[in-house]
Amino acid sequence: MTAFEIYLNGRKTCTAGLGQAGVVISSLIWASGGPQDLRRDDLEFRVGGYVSRTSTHLSWYNRRLKSGDEIKVVVVKSAKADRPKTRRVESEATRTRREREYVEKKAAEFGWTITK
């Protein structure tokens, strides 16, 4: 399988991969701003994934970063990956509710009326 070997400051943190249909994601996130009383800069690194067949969200690694941290992602072929630290299965009802809320929000933004 194709997998990501993740290193932080020269130390290997995990090997993330799926032996089935889905998605593996490594993301470096910087966010700034917010309400006046909560102004901050957030810097975070995440390695996660999603198994399509079972609607399961996975997380291998999640960490706040600081200036000077170095991240290295190596794409490898591997017979196995590390077990995710967390798994969360999204029920059909939850997925349907989330999608409905998204459609309703977008309809409102465009000034559309939804008829059922």
Query: What pTM does this model have?
Result: 0.74
Q: Say if residues 89 and 58 touch (Cβ distance below 8 Å).
A: no
For the chain, the structural domain boundaries read 2-90
Task: Report pLDDT digits (tens) over 42-74.
Answer: 889 999 999 988 889 999 999 999 999 999 999
d(CA 17, CA 24): 6
First to last CA, the chain: 44
Answer yes or no: is pLDDT of 110 > 80. Answer: yes
